[in-house]
C-alpha cells in the first residue's frame, strides 16, 4: 500500500518518498514528464542535426574519401570537388584574425582586470559586450564600404611597399581578400577574448599578485609573469572560443573575401571560406554530388567548431576552478 | 504583466495567421540577368492584379534550375537552358516535364573600370579568352592594345571578375569563349559554374557590377542593362564576321534572326557567335522554366496569364531597360506552347 | 641596480599604458560602428523606408516595409519555438534532473550553441524546406528558434538554480507539491534573469542572416500568412550592400541602423533588468 500523502517536511527533496500515483495526482510526475520531453527534444534535435550532416554527405565521402581534403579543384562541371581551398581560406582568415585580436584582446583584458577601477572596468566591459552583439551582416556592411576601400587605397599599397618582399604581401591590391577578411573577423572576435579573459583574470586569487609584489616585482611583472600564467588556461580557452566564432562566420566573410577558391601564399589574394561557399552555392547546387559536397563542408566546419568549443570549455572551467581555490590548499 | 504580454503575443500570432491567405502568392527564382526586367514586370503586373503577387528572387540561373527541380519554387528562370541531364532529373522527380519560355533577349558585355580610360575598347575573342584564362595580365598587353590603337592603356594588372555562383550569364559567356577559343574549351569548358582560372567572384550580376564599379583596373561580364544603368563603360566585341560590334538591341536581334526562323519546339537554342555582320556575338535568350503540370490550378492559371501578358504588353518595357524584344515568330510559337501547361 | 630598476619601472608603466590603449581601441570600434551607421543610416531613413515595398531594380523610392514586418514575424516564431523548449528544458535540468540525463542535455545544448549559423541553415533547409516543397516564414522561424534554444536553456537553468534553498523548502514546508513550488515560487523569483536570457537570445538571432538564406528566402512583396517566403532586414542588407545601386546602398545603411539600434536597445534593456536588483543574488 502506498504511503499516504503526509507531507512531512524534510531537509531534502521530497521526490522519492511518495508513491507514483500520489505524485501524479499532485501534478509532479506530469510536470517532470513534460519538462523531460522538452529537455529531451534538445538532445533529439542536436542528434538529428549531426545525423543529417553525416547522411547528407554520403556521396562525396564515398567518392573522394580523404582526398576531399587534399585536392584543390572545385569543378561542378566535371564533378570534381576538393575542399582544400575552403579549408585553407577558413584557417588563414581565422589565423590572421587571431594574430590581430589576441594581443589587443589580452591587453585590453589585462587593463580591465588589473588596472581599471571597478566602475570603469564594468562600464567598458558593458560596451565590449555590446560589440559582441553586433550582427555579422553589419560588420559585412562596414567591411564592404569602409574596410575594403581603406585596404585597397592605403593599407595594401603601404604593406606592399614596405614588406612586399615577403610572399605574404605580393600581388595586386584588390581591397578584398584574406587579409581584409581577417581584419574584419578580428574586430568580431575581440569581445570574446576580452570578456572571457577578463573574468578569468579576475578570478585569480589576490595572494598570487600580492606575493609577487611583495617580492619586489613591478606591477607589470606581477601581472605578466604571475597572474597571466596562472590564468593561462582560461585565456587559451577564450582564444579557442574566438577561433570557433571566426571559423563559422559567414556573412561578413563572404562580403569581403573575394570568393575565389584558390590556395595562395599572398594575403592580398582573394580567397574563399567554407561558410562563404555554402552560402553562395547551396541553393543552386544542381548535381547531387555538388550539393552533398557542400554538406560535407558543413560537416567539417561543425566538427572543427565542436572540438574547439569543447577544448575551450574544458580550459576555462579548469582555470576558474583553479582560481577559486579548489585546485590547491 | 506576464499574463498581459502572453495574451498580446497570442493575439499577434492570431492576427498574423488570419490576415493571411486572401492573396495568391507565387514564388519564382533564378537568373539575375533579366532581374531588372522581371522586377519591373512583376511590379507592373501586381499593380494590374492586386491580389496576385509574383515574388521573384534573383539567386542565379543555377539556383533557379535547382529550386524548380526541388519543387520549392513555382517556376524558375535561367539564361542557360537546362541540359538533357537536368531535364531528365526534373522528369524523374516530378513525373512530368518542364517547359522553357523565352521572355526577352539580352547581351552579355565585357565591362571595365580602367582609371583614365573612358573610350569604348575593342576586344577580340583571343583577348577575352586570354584575359579570363589568366594569360593576359596587363591592360597594355599587345593583344588588347593591338585592337585599340589610339587609346593609351596603362600597364596595370587586370583584375578579372566573374560570377561566384551558378549563372546563366556565365553559361552564355563561357559558351561564347568555348566557341572562339580551343584552349578555353579544353581547359574550362562551358557551364553555369566553371572552374575559373583567375579572378574575383561576385554574387549575382549585382555583385559583379558592384565589384567592377568599385575596383580599379577590373573587367567583368554582365548583362547590358547593368553596365548601362550604372554608367560603366563596356567594350565592342569582334563577331564571327570580323566586325567589332557594340552591344545594342538591334545587334542582339540580328544575332537571333537565324534562330528565330529555326526555333526548336522546346525553345532551347544558343545564339552566341552568330553569323552576320551586324550580330553581337555574346547574345542570349533568357527563359522562364515553367512546370508542365501544376497541381494548384489557381497558380497555373495565374502563371499562364502572366506569360501571355509578358509576351504582349510586357515586351513594351524591354527596350527602355536595354533588353531586346522577342522576334515575332518566337512569340507566336510560344503563345501556342502555353497551352501545354496543364 | 638603480638603472635596472628604472628600466623595469619604465617597462611596467609603458606596458600597462599599452593595455589601456588596447582597451581604448577595442571600445572605440563600437563607437565608430555606431557613429558611422548613425551618419549614413540616419541620413537615409525616411518615411518611405518604413512604409513602402521594394521598388523595381534601379528605381528609387522603395522601402523595406515588408522586411521589417518579415523580421518581426520570423523573430516571433523563433521565440514561440525556441523559448518554451529552452525554458521547460531548463526547469527539468534545475528541478527534476540530475545525473547522466542532465549531463547529456547540457552537452547537447552547448553543442547546438556552437554550431555555426550556416550549418543551422543547412539543417533547416533539409528539414523544413525540402520536404514541404516551399520556402517559408515557418522554416526561417524554425532555424532561428533552434539558435535561441541553448542560450535560453543554459541561462534559465542558471537563474533557477540560483534561487535560494530557503525559498524552495519554505514552499514545501507549507505543503506545496514540487510542481506548484516551481510555478508559484521559483520561477517568479528568477523571472528577471529568465527575461534577460530571453531578451539576449532574441537579440542574438535578430541579426542572423545565413540561416535565412535557405529558409525564409526572400520576398519583394508582402508575405501572407506563415507559409510563404518572406523578406527580412538582415537579408535585405546583404543583398543591397553588394549591389551596384546607390539608392540600395542608402537603404542598406538605414536598415543597418534600424537593426543595430533594435539589438543594442534590447541588450541594454536586458542588462538593465538584470542589474536593477534581481530577486535573488547570483551564486
* Local mean pLDDT, 10-residue blocks, chain B (342 residues): 59 58 85 93 93 92 92 93 92 93 94 92 94 94 92 91 89 94 92 87 88 91 92 94 92 89 88 91 94 92 94 93 91 91 86
Q: What gap in Å lies between CA C223 and CA B25, rounded to an integer?
A: 8
CA C215 vs. chain centroid, Å, equals 18
Closest CA to C146 of C78, C195, C242: C78
Q: Do B66 and A286 touch (CB under 8 A)?
A: yes
Neighbouring CB atoms inside 10 A of B316's CB total 10
Cell numbers representing residue C71 in the block: 523580421
Which among B130, B201, B112 has a CA at the least distance from the CA of B162? B201
- Total-model pTM: 0.88
Tens digit of pLDDT at every position of chain A (329 positions): 444 445 455 444 545 556 767 666 667 888 888 899 999 999 999 999 999 999 999 999 999 888 899 898 888 877 889 999 999 999 999 999 999 999 999 999 999 998 889 899 999 999 998 888 999 999 999 999 999 999 988 999 899 889 888 888 888 888 899 999 999 999 999 999 999 999 889 888 888 888 988 998 888 888 888 888 988 888 998 899 899 889 989 999 999 998 888 898 899 999 999 999 999 888 888 788 999 999 999 999 999 889 988 888 888 888 777 766 544 44
Give the chain C residue nearest B42 (alpha carbons).
C56
Confirm if C112 and C146 have CB atoms less than 8 A apart.
yes
Contact call for residues A88 and A267 (beta carbons, < 8 A): no
A77–B195 CB contact, under 8 Å: yes
Contact criterion met (CB < 8 Å) for A281 and B166: yes
CB contact under 8 A, C220 and B203: no
Half-sphere exposure at residue B328, Cβ-oriented, CA atoms within 13 angstroms? 0
Our CA-based measurement puts residue B91 at a distance from the nearest CA of chain A, in whole angstroms, of 14
CA distances in angstroms from C95 to A34, C160, C162, listed in the order given:
12, 8, 12
First to last CA, chain C: 48
Is the Cβ pair A258, B200 closer than 8 Å? yes
Q: Which residues of B touch C242 (CB under 8 A)?
A: 202-204, 206-207, 210
Please report residues of A whose CB lies closer than 8 A to that of C110: 309, 313
Closest-CA distance of chain A to residue C26, Å: 7
Residue B314 in grid coordinates: 510586357
A273 to chain B, closest Cα gap in Å: 13
Q: Do B194 and A283 touch (CB under 8 A)?
A: no
Are the C-beta atoms of residues C126 and A56 closer than 8 Å to each other? yes
SS (H, E, C) chain B: CHHHHHHHHHHHHHHHHHCCCCCEEEEEEECCCCHHHHHHHHHHHHHHCCCEEEEEEECCHHHHHHHHHHCCCCEEEECCCCCHHHHHHHHHHHCCCEEEEEEEEEEEEEEEECCCCCCCCEECHHHHHHHHHCCCCECCCHHHHCCCCCCCCCCCECEEEEECCCCHHHHHHHHHHHHHCHHHHHHCCCCCCCCCCCCEEECHHHHHHHHHHHCCCEEEEEEHHHHHHCCCCECEEECCCCCEECCCHHHHHHHHHHHHHCCCCCCCCCCCCCCCCCCCCCEEEEEEEEECCCCCHHHHHHHHHHHHHHHCHHHHHCHHHCCECCCHHHHHHHHHHHHHCC
Cα separation, A168 vs A111, in Å, equals: 32
CB atoms closer than 10 angstroms to residue C242: 24
Count of other CB atoms within 10 angstroms of residue B277: 11
CB distance B200 to A174 below 8 Å: yes
**C-alpha distance from residue A37 to each of A49, A118, B240, B248 (Å):** 18, 43, 70, 65
CB of C267 within 8 Å of any CB in chain A?
A: yes
Q: What is the ipTM of this complex?
A: 0.87
CB C68, CB C233: distance < 8 Å: yes
Q: Do A270 and B196 touch (CB under 8 A)?
A: no
Q: Count interface pairs B-C at CB distance under 8 A.
A: 96
Nearest to A257 by CA among A240, A282, A274, A281: A274
Q: What is the dihedral of CA B243, B247, B248, B249, to 10 degrees?
A: 100
Gap from B219 CA to chain C (nearest CA, Å): 15
C-alpha atoms less than 13 angstroms from C-alpha of B272 in its C-beta half-sphere: 23
Pairing state of beta strands B283-291 and B98-113? antiparallel
Who's near B147: CB < 8 A, 6+ residues apart? B121, B122, B123, B124, B127, B238, B244
Which residue positions in chain C have pLDDT lower than 50?
A: 278-283
Cell of A38: 522538452
Nearest to B329 by CA among B249, B276, B251, B256: B256
Q: How far apart are CA A27 and CA C177, in angstroms?
A: 8
CB distance C264–A133 less than 8 Å?
A: yes
| CA C129 from centre of chain | 23
Query: How near does any CA of chain B get to the CA of A42, in Å?
Result: 24
Inform me whether the C-beta atom of residue B189 falls under 8 Å from chain A C-beta atoms: yes
Residue with cell 542582339: B252
Say if residue C165 is exposed, middle or buried (CB neighbours under 10 Å; 0-12, 13-18, 19+).
exposed
For residue A4, the model assigns a pLDDT of 47
Residue A256's φ and ψ, nearest 5 degrees, are -130, 5
| Number of Cα atoms under 13 Å in the Cβ half of residue A293 | 28
For testing contact with chain C, the best of A194, A251, A300 (most C CBs within 10 A): A251
Query: Which of A74, A178, A283 is most worth mutating to test chain B (most B CB atoms within 10 A of its CB)?
Result: A283
CA-based radius of gyration for chain B: 22
Asked whether the beta carbons of A269 and A177 are under 8 A apart, the reply is yes
Sheet holding B244-245, edge to edge: B122-123, B236-238, B244-245
Residue C200 and residue C270 in contact, taking contact as beta carbons nearer than 8 Å: yes
Residues 6 or more apart from A156 whose CB is under 8 A from it?
A169, A173, A174, A175, A179, A268
The three cell numbers locating residue A204: 585569480
156-175 of C, contacting A, C-beta below 8 A: 169, 172-173, 175
Residues 45-74 of A with CB under 8 A from B: 73-74
Q: Chain B partners of C220 at a C-beta cutoff of 8 Å?
A: 39, 42-43, 53, 55-57
Contacts of residue B135, defined as CB under 8 A and 6 or more positions apart, other chains included, come to none
Give burial (CB, 10 Å; 0-12/13-18/19+) of B11. Answer: exposed
Q: Nearest CA of chain B to the CA of C253: how many Å?
A: 16
Residue B155 sits at φ, ψ, to 5 deg, of: -90, 40
Compute the nearest-CA separation of B185 from chain C (Å).
31
Touching subunits of B (3+ CB pairs, under 8 Å) are A, C
Alpha carbon A241 to chain centroid, angstroms: 4
CB neighbourhood size of C269 (10 A): 15
Chain B residues touching A280 at Cβ < 8 A: 164-165, 201, 203
b or e along C128-163 (b: 16 or more beta carbons within 10 Å of the residue's beta carbon)?
Answer: bbeeeebbbbbbbbbbbbbbbbbbbbbbbbbbbbbb
Q: Work out whether strand B159-163 and strand B218-223 pair parallel, antiparallel, or are unpaired.
A: parallel
Q: What is the largest CA-CA distance in chain A?
A: 90
Q: How far apart are CA A197 and CA A204, in angstroms?
A: 11
Quick one: pLDDT at residue A321? 76
- Interface subset of C 114-143, CB within 8 angstroms of B: 129-130, 133-135
Query: Do residue A77 and residue B193 have CB atoms under 8 angstroms apart?
Result: yes
Chains with 3+ CB–CB pairs under 8 A to C are: A, B
Distance CA(C271)–CA(C283), nearest Å, equals: 17
With a CB-CB cutoff of 8 Å, which residues 15-54 of chain A face chain C?
Answer: 15, 23, 26-28, 30-32, 34-36, 38-43, 45-49, 52-53
Residues 134-163 of A with CB under 8 A from C: 134-138, 140-142, 144-146
Residues in chain A: 329
In this predicted structure, what is the pLDDT of residue A74? 87
- Residue for cell digits 541553415? C121
| Residue of chain A minimizing CA distance to C105 | A43
Left if phi > 0, otherwise alpha if psi is -120 to 50, otherwise beta: which for C108? Answer: alpha
First to last CA, chain B: 55
Do the beta carbons of residue A74 and residue A88 sit within 8 Å? no
Quick one: cell of A220?
607589470
In terms of Cα–Cα distance, which of B154, B153, B173 is closest to B162?
B173
Q: Measured on CA atoms in the order B17, B23, B27, B31, is the torsion positive or negative?
A: negative
Nearest-Cα residue of chain C relative to residue B69 = C133
Which of residues 110 through 139 in chain B touch A, CB cutoff 8 A?
Answer: none
pLDDT reported for residue A233:
87
pLDDT of residue B17: 54
Distance, CA of C270 to CA of C264 (rounded, Å)? 10
Give the closest-approach CA distance of A74 to chain B in angstroms.
Answer: 6
Amino acid at each position: 500500500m502506498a504511503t499516504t500523502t503526509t507531507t512531512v517536511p524534510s531537509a531534502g527533496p521530497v521526490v522519492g518518498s511518495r508513491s507514483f500515483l500520489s505524485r501524479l495526482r499532485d501534478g509532479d510526475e506530469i510536470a517532470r514528464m513534460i519538462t523531460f520531453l522538452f529537455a529531451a527534444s534538445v538532445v533529439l534535435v542536436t542528434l538529428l542535426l549531426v545525423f543529417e550532416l553525416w547522411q547528407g554527405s554520403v556521396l562525396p565521402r564515398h567518392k573522394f574519401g580523404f582526398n576531399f581534403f587534399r585536392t584543390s579543384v572545385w569543378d561542378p562541371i566535371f564533378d570534381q570537388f576538393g575542399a582544400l581551398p575552403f579549408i585553407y581560406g577558413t584557417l588563414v582568415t581565422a589565423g590572421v584574425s587571431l594574430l590581430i585580436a589576441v594581443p589587443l584582446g589580452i591587453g585590453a583584458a589585462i587593463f580591465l582586470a588589473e588596472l581599471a577601477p571597478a566602475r570603469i572596468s564594468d562600464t567598458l566591459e558593458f560596451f565590449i559586450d555590446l560589440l559582441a552583439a553586433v550582427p555579422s551582416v553589419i560588420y559585412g556592411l562596414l567591411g564592404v564600404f569602409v574596410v575594403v576601400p581603406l585596404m585597397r587605397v592605403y593599407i595594401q599599397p603601404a604593406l606592399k611597399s614596405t614588406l612586399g618582399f615577403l610572399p605574404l604581401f605580393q600581388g595586386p591590391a584588390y581591397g578584398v581578400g584574406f587579409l581584409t577578411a581577417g581584419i574584419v573577423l578580428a574586430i568580431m572576435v575581440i569581445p570574446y577574448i576580452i570578456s572571457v579573459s577578463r573574468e578569468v583574470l579576475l578570478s585569480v586569487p589576490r595572494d598570487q599578485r600580492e606575493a609577487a609584489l611583495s617580492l619586489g616585482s613591478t606591477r607589470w611583472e606581477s601581472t605578466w609573469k604571475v597572474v597571466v600564467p596562472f590564468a593561462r588556461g582560461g585565456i587559451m580557452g577564450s582564444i579557442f572560443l574566438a577561433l570557433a566564432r571566426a571559423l563559422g562566420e559567414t556573412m561578413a566573410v563572404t562580403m569581403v573575401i573575394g570568393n575565389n577558391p584558390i590556395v595562395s601564399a599572398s594575403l592580398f589574394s582573394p580567397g574563399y571560406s567554407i561558410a562563404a561557399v555554402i552560402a553562395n552555392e547551396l541553393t543552386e547546387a544542381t548535381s547531387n554530388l555538388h550539393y552533398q559536397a557542400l554538406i560535407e563542408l558543413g560537416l567539417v566546419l561543425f566538427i572543427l567548431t565542436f572540438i574547439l568549443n569543447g577544448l575551450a570549455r574544458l580550459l576555462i572551467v579548469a582555470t576558474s576552478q583553479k582560481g577559486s581555490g579548489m585546485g590547491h590548499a | 504583466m506576464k499574463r498581459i504580454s502572453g495574451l498580446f503575443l497570442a493575439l499577434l500570432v492570431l492576427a498574423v495567421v488570419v490576415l493571411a491567405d486572401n492573396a495568391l502568392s507565387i514564388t519564382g527564382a533564378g537568373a539575375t540577368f533579366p532581374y531588372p526586367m522581371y522586377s519591373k514586370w512583376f511590379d507592373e503586373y501586381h499593380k494590374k492584379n492586386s491580389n496576385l503577387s509574383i515574388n521573384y528572387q534573383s539567386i542565379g540561373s543555377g539556383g533557379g534550375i535547382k529550386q524548380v527541380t526541388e519543387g520549392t519554387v513555382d517556376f524558375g528562370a535561367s539564361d542557360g537552358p537546362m541540359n538533357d541531364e537536368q531535364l531528365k532529373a526534373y522528369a524523374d522527380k516530378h513525373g512530368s516535364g518542364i517547359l522553357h519560355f523565352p521572355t526577352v533577349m539580352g547581351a552579355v558585355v565585357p565591362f571595365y573600370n580602367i582609371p583614365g580610360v573612358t573610350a569604348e575598347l575593342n576586344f577580340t575573342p583571343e583577348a577575352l579568352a586570354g584575359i579570363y584564362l589568366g594569360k593576359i595580365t596587363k591592360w597594355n598587353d599587345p593583344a588588347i592594345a593591338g585592337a585599340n590603337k589610339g587609346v593609351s592603356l596603362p600597364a596595370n594588372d587586370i583584375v578579372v571578375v566573374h560570377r561566384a555562383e551558378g549563372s546563366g550569364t556565365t553559361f552564355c559567356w563561357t559558351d561564347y569563349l568555348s566557341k572562339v577559343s580551343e584552349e578555353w574549351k579544353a581547359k574550362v569548358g562551358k557551364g553555369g559554374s566553371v572552374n575559373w582560372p583567375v579572378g574575383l567572384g561576385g554574387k549575382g550580376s549585382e555583385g559583379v557590377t558592384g565589384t567592377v564599379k568599385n575596383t580599379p583596373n577590373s573587367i567583368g561580364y554582365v548583362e547590358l542593362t547593368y553596365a548601362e544603368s550604372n554608367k560603366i563603360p563596356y567594350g565592342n566585341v569582334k563577331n564571327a564576321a570580323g566586325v567589332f560590334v557594340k552591344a545594342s538591341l538591334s545587334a542582339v536581334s540580328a544575332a537571333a534572326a537565324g534562330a528565330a526562323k529555326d526555333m526548336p519546339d522546346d525553345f532551347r537554342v544558343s545564339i552566341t557567335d552568330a553569323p552576320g555582320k551586324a550580330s553581337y556575338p555574346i547574345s542570349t535568350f533568357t527563359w522562364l522554366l515553367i512546370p508542365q503540370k501544376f497541381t494548384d490550378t489557381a497558380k497555373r492559371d495565374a502563371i499562364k496569364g502572366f506569360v501571355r501578358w509578358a509576351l504582349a504588353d510586357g515586351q513594351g518595357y524591354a527596350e527602355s531597360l536595354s533588353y531586346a524584344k522577342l522576334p515575332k515568330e518566337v512569340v507566336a510559337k510560344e503563345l501556342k506552347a502555353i497551352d501545354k501547361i496543364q | 641596480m638603480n638603472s635596472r630598476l628604472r628600466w623595469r619601472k619604465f617597462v611596467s608603466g609603458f606596458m600597462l599604458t599599452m593595455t589601456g590603449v588596447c582597451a581604448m581601441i577595442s571600445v572605440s570600434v563600437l563607437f565608430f560602428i555606431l557613429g558611422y551607421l548613425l551618419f549614413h543610416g540616419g541620413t537615409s531613413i525616411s518615411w518611405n523606408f518604413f512604409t513602402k515595398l521594394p521598388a523595381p531594380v534601379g528605381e528609387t523610392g522603395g522601402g523595406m516595409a515588408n522586411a521589417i514586418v518579415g523580421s518581426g514575424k520570423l523573430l516571433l516564431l523563433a521565440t514561440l519555438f525556441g523559448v518554451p523548449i529552452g525554458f521547460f528544458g531548463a526547469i527539468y535540468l534545475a528541478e527534476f534532473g540530475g545525473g547522466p540525463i542532465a549531463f547529456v542535455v547540457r552537452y547537447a545544448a552547448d553543442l547546438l550553441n556552437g554550431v555555426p549559423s550556416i550549418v543551422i541553415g543547412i539543417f533547416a533547409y533539409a528539414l523544413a524546406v525540402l520536404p514541404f516543397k516551399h520556402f517559408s516564414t515557418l522554416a526561417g522561424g524554425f532555424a532561428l528558434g533552434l539558435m535561441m534554444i541553448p542560450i535560453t536553456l543554459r541561462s534559465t537553468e542558471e537563474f533557477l538554480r540560483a534561487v535560494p534553498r530557503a525559498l524552495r523548502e519554505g514552499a514545501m514546508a507549507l505543503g506545496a507539491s514540487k510542481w506548484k513550488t516551481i510555478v508559484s515560487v521559483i520561477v517568479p523569483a528568477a523571472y528577471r534573469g529568465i527575461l534577460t536570457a530571453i531578451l539576449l537570445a532574441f537579440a542574438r538571432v535578430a541579426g542572423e542572416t545565413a540561416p535565412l538564406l535557405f529558409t525564409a528566402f526572400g520576398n519583394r512583396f508582402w508575405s501572407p500568412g506563415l507559409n510563404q517566403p518572406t523578406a527580412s532586414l538582415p537579408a535585405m542588407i546583404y543583398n543591397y550592400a553588394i549591389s551596384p545601386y546607390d539608392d540600395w546602398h542608402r537603404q542598406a545603411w538605414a536598415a543597418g541602423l534600424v537593426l543595430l539600434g533594435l539589438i543594442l536597445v534590447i541588450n541594454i534593456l536586458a542588462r538593465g533588468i538584470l542589474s536593477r536588483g534581481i530577486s535573488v543574488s547570483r551564486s
